[in-house]
């Protein structure tokens, strides 16, 4: 199951396959809000440092996905110091498709798996003494 899931991720992510999928998908998700998200807000939400955010954003803008980048970077019109990261429509579609595919892989592999037993009462004896008792 893991190899199948990684293969799907690798074919989708391309050069970004060696990056943490949870982190990249979360960046796409956060960047999908209307107007995008600032790098400061990404840093606070993801709890990673600014240089790491910048490097990942650069990789997402330079990696091609279905003819375009994963994200685009824009300056806030009112304050050019603020950099906004905005997910592209291709990235949104591709990540939604990937989530669906990965979910179907998990469901397919867990249907045939044996079910775990529920917690049952043990028949072992219960002792009611303490080492502190005389």
> pLDDT at position 47, please?
93
Residue with tokens 């790098």: 39
> pLDDT at position 101, please?
83
> pLDDT at position 77, please?
82
Hey, is 65 helix, strand or coil? Answer: strand
Alpha helices (H) along the chain: 2-13, 21-31, 39-46, 50-62, 89-111
The whole-number average pLDDT for the span 49-78 is 84
Contact between 85 and 27 under an 8 Å Cβ cutoff? The reply is yes
Name the residue ranges covered by the structural domains of the chain.
Answer: 20-111
The whole-number average pLDDT for the span 61-68 is 74
Cα separation, 99 vs 22, in Å, equals 11
User: pLDDT per residue over 23-48, tens digit each?
Assistant: 888 998 999 988 889 989 999 999 99
Cα separation, 17 vs 70, in Å, equals 13
Between residues 64 and 28, which one has the greater pLDDT?
28
* C-alpha distances out from residue 73 to 30, 85, 125, Å: 13, 5, 66
> pLDDT at position 65, please?
64
pLDDT at 133 exceeding the cut of 60: no
> pLDDT at position 90, please?
86
pLDDT at 112 exceeding the cut of 80: no
Contact between 13 and 101 under an 8 Å Cβ cutoff? The reply is no
Between residues 66 and 99, which one has the greater pLDDT?
99
Between residues 133 and 116, which one has the greater pLDDT?
116
> pLDDT at position 114, please?
60
Residue with tokens 């179907």: 104
26 φ, ψ to 5°? -70, -40
Specify the pairing of strand 37-38 against strand 79-87: antiparallel
> pLDDT at position 109, please?
79
Give CATH for domain 20-111: 1.10.10.10
End-to-end CA distance of the chain: 57
pLDDT at 128 exceeding the cut of 60: no
Other beta carbons within 10 Å of 73: 17
């Amino acid at each position: 199951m893991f190899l199948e899931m990684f293969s799907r991720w690798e074919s989708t992510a391309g050069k970004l396959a060696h990056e943490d999928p949870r982190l990249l998908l979360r960046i796409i998700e956060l960047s999908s809000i209307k107007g995008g998200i600032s790098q400061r807000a990404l840093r606070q939400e993801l709890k990673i440092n600014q240089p790491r955010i910048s490097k990942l954003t650069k990789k997402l803008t330079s990696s091609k996905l279905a003819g375009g980048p994963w994200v685009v970077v824009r300056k806030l019109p009112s304050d050019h110091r603020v950099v906004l990261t905005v997910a592209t429509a291709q990235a949104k579609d591709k990540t939604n498709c990937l989530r669906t595919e990965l979910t179907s892989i998990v469901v397919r592999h867990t249907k045939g798996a044996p079910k775990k037993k529920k917690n049952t009462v043990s028949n072992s004896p219960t002792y009611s003494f303490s080492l502190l008792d005389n």
